[in-house]
Amino acid sequence: MQSTHTTASPVEVGVGPVSFDDLVRVAREGAPVTLADDALDAIDRARAVIEELAAAETPSYGVSTGFGALATRHIPVEMRAQLQRSLVRSHAAGSGPEVEREVVRALMLLRLSTLATGRTGVRRGTAQLMADLLSHGITPVVREYGSLGCSGDLAPLSHCALALMGEGEVRDASGTLLPAAEALAAVGLEPVELAAKEGLALINGTDGMLGMLVLAIADLRMLLRTADVAAAMSVEAQLGTDRVFAPELQAIRPHPGQALSAANLTALLVGSGVVASHRTGPSNTVECNRVQDAYSLRCSPQVHGAARDTVEHAATVAGRELASAIDNPVVIGDRVESNGNFHGAPVAYVLDFLAIVAADVASISERRTDRFLDKARNHGLPPFLADDPGVDSGHMIAQYTQASIVSELKRLAVPASVDSIPSSAMQEDHVSMGWNAARKLRRSVDGLARVVAVEVLTAARALDLRAPLTPAPATAAVVALLRRSGIEGPGPDRHLSPEIEATVDLVQSGAVLAAASSVIGELA
C-alpha cells in the first residue's frame, strides 16, 4: 500500500527507538514527523564534538579524511564541503525501477531516528530538513539496485541525502515527479550545504532493509491470521475434523504459535453445521467419522504456528535494530570511534528466514486448495467445483495460478544473506546483501497474500456447494463478504481473474480477517 500526504497526527522522533506502529503510520499513512527536544539537544552535543575534531590537525575518519579504501587521505578544511557533496553524489548510484514510496519513507524515518540519537554528529538543521521532507510528503526517487547491505544501504540513503542538497529527483505529496530543488522551494524549504561528517552520517545505516523488515512483519502478522481463516474454511468445506485442534493436543507440544493458530481454527469452526453433519457420538458432538485428515488440513496449526513464531523472532531482531544507532564512525562521549555496526547480517538473516515462512505457508495453502478440485479427494463435490464438469473448468486454473506463485516463492526462499561480493578495493570484503533479502521478501509477502486469496475464493465456493448444510458463523461472514463485493457463488464459468484480484484486495486490506473477527472477536 502506497502512502500519501495526510493530516494525520505527527510522529515525534526522540532519542529512543521508533515504534513499529509509528513506522507504519509514517510509511503508509503519510504521518508527519517532528523532532523531540531531547533529540535536538543530543544532536547539538554530538555536533560540538565533530566541530572540535574538524578543527584539529590530527586526521579523523569521516570528518577530515576520505572514505572506505580512500580513508588514508587527509582532506584540508577548504575542501571538506566538496568532500561531502562528492560522497553523496558518487554514492547515489542506484539503478532500476523506483522503490515503493512506503519503503523510502520508512528508511528516511529510520535514518532520522539514528540522527536523533546524538551519535552521528549532524547539525540540527540537517536533521530538521529530513523531518520536513517527510512531513511535506516529498519522497526522493530511490532505485531498486545499489545496496550491498554493508556500510549500510549506501546507495538508497545517498539518493535521499541528495534530495536534502536540492539535487536529484523526488516525488511530491501528489506523486508528481520533479527536481528536488523545485519540490523544496514549492513548500518553502531550502537545501542544506553539508558540513564535515554529515554526508557520511546520512548514508551509513541499515535503514532500508530494516524498514522493509518492519513492514513485512506487519503484513505477515495479518496474513498468518488470515491463513488461519482460509484453513478453517478448507477444513470445514472438505468435511475435516476439528478435533485435532483441541487445546490439550497442542499443550503436549508447547510451541506458542501453534497453540494460537489451533485456537483460531477451533473458534472459527464453532457452530458449523457442516462440521456437525459428520460427527458421531452423543448428540453428534463428540467425534468426527474421519479422524485422519490429510496433513495440509490436520497440520495447519503446526505450519502456521511455526511461521508465527518465526515472525516474532524477526520482530525481536527488528526491535533491537530500531534501538540501535547505526553509523560509522560514531560519536562516543567526546571522541569519534570507528566500528562495524553498519553490517546488515542480523537483519539480513531474518529477512531470509521470513521468505522461507512465506513460501511454506503458501505451499500448504495451495495443497489445501488442490484437494477441493480432485473428485477423488473432495468428498462429494463436483470435479474442480465446476458447474457442468467437462463444459466448465471451475477453479482448475486458479490452482495453476497458485502453483505458479508457490514455485516462485520457493525460488525467493533461497537466501540472499549467504552471498557476498567484495567491494571498495577489498576494504569492504564481506557484505550482508540484506537489501536484496528485503526486496525479495516484499515479493514473497505479496505472493503469499495471492495464494491465500485463491484458497479463500475456492473454499467459499465449496461451502456454497455444501448447502443446505450451513457453515460456521465466522466462515459464513467471509463468504458473505465476498458475495457483497461482487464475487459470485457457484455457476457456469466466467472471467475468473477479476474475482481473484478482488479477493486479493480483500485479503491484503485485512477485510477477510475483519469479517471473521466481527463474529467471534479478534483472532489471536
User: Can you read off the three cell numbers belonging to residue 24?
Assistant: 507504519
Give catalytic residue positions: 61
Short-list 495, 516, 505, 411, CA closest to 449:
505
User: Can you read off the three cell numbers belonging to residue 494?
Assistant: 466466467
Q: For 336, which DSSP code?
A: E
**Pairs from 9-14 (Cβ < 8 Å, separation ≥ 24):** 10/34, 10/135, 11/109, 12/36, 13/39, 13/109, 13/112, 13/113, 13/116, 13/131, 14/38, 14/39, 14/116
Please name the helix (run of DSSP H) or strand (run of DSSP E) that holds residue 361, with its range, or none.
helix 345-373
> Is residue 90 packed enough to be buried (19+ CB in 10 Å), middle (13-18) or exposed (0-12)?
exposed
Give the three-state DSSP class for 332: strand
Q: Is the dihedral of CA 42, 43, 44, 45 positive or negative?
A: positive
Give the three-state DSSP class for 390: coil
Give the three-state DSSP class for 120: coil
In single-letter form, the type of residue at position 207 comes to D
Q: Alpha-carbon distance 504 to 451, whole Å?
A: 9
